[in-house]
Amino acid sequence: MSRDNLPEQSRGRPAAQRPSGGGVERAQPTQAMPAAHQAGALGFVPSPDRFHWWAELSGDVKTYVEGKVGPAVEWWADLHERERDRPYAVVLGPNGLAVTTPKVNQRGQRTQSVRLDKFVPSSLKHAVVQQQATRARSGLRSLMGRGRDEQQPTAAPQLELSEYMRGVLGNLPLEAQQRLQTPFLGSQAVQHYRSYYYGNDEDLDMWLYLAGDRTVTFASGHRSLPAGADPQQASWRLVCYQADVAR
């Protein structure tokens, strides 16, 4: 992982769309399973889309990022939460993950700090996760008492994530939640993460990633949800990525 600062200026061209093709990484059996989170409410406010904020980054920043991570596989740009009217961007490429953050240098100039997680060559894999709309299911919990020798179920491991991020993850299909979190169940901690969505309750696009010192996971996709329905009844089509970080 490295950081660099580059000048920020306005206007540019949108990043390339995700190329088609590529290998599909199949789920591998694992003993430990990550926690399944409850869906959090997704708030919506009027805002320009990701193409608008991408255009606010300078050509130098975009050229630098592409030189480090390769052509964009997935990306988003949005208004930064602490810097008024200034963007940040996240770019997943075949060679790494880049996250830019708006800064002001000692001379008062606006710059973008670039955090890079470089990948082991050819380690970026992806799998498609789909979920069809379902009706809410109901049932009866067991009222039988547990035997004295019967063990209580082991609590699923929890990652060090904010409640907000847990809520975002909870909107995803269970398989996508597992693919994003499973690499971080052992000694590898999540070092940084972000999420972004755009649209409305019924028609939503979402991007998010988790990054550690050995692994990056990333997901992007589209959700359709009937008006007033529970998020667990949504239709999803997601692409989940995983790559090894070069050490």
Report residue 43's pLDDT band, with 50, 70 and 90 as the boundaries. confident
Pair 202, 190: CB distance under 8 Å: no
Question: In terms of residues, how long is the chain?
Answer: 247
**pLDDT, mean of residues 68-75:** 98
Q: Distance between CA 10 and CA 48 in Å, rounded?
A: 15
SS (H, E, C) 20-62: CCCCECCCCCCCCCCCCCCCCCCCCCCCCCHHHHHHCCCHHHH
What type of residue is 101?
Answer: T
In the chain, the DSSP E strands lie at 2-7, 74-79, 87-93, 96-104, 110-118, 125-131, 192-199, 203-211, 215-224, 235-244
Pair 75, 66: CB distance under 8 Å: no
Structure token digits, residue 94 = 């075949």
Report residue 116's pLDDT band, with 50, 70 and 90 as the boundaries. very high
DSSP 8-state secondary structure symbol assigned to residue 121: T
Structure confidence by residue, pLDDT tens digits, 72-99: 999 999 999 887 789 999 999 999 999 9
- Angle between helix 174-181 and helix 163-170 axes, rounded to 10 deg: 130
Q: Distance between CA 191 and CA 75 in Å, rounded?
A: 19
Structure confidence by residue, pLDDT tens digits, 179-196: 999 999 988 999 999 999
DSSP 8-state secondary structure symbol assigned to residue 185: S
Q: What is the pLDDT of residue 127?
A: 97
Q: What is the pLDDT of residue 1?
A: 57
Q: What is the pLDDT of residue 20?
A: 39
Q: What is the pLDDT of residue 206?
A: 97
Q: Of 208, 225, 228, 223, whose CA–CA distance to 167 is shortest? A: 208
- Positive/negative CA dihedral, 27, 30, 34, 38: positive
**pLDDT, mean of residues 143-155:** 43
Residue 120 has pLDDT above 60, yes or no: yes
Structure confidence by residue, pLDDT tens digits, 203-228: 999 999 999 999 999 999 999 988 88
Q: What is the pLDDT of residue 125?
A: 98
User: In 3-state terms, what secondary structure has residue 67?
Assistant: helix
**pLDDT, mean of residues 3-24:** 46
The structure tokens 């869906």 sit at 39
DSSP 8-state secondary structure symbol assigned to residue 85: T
Pair 15, 50: CB distance under 8 Å: no
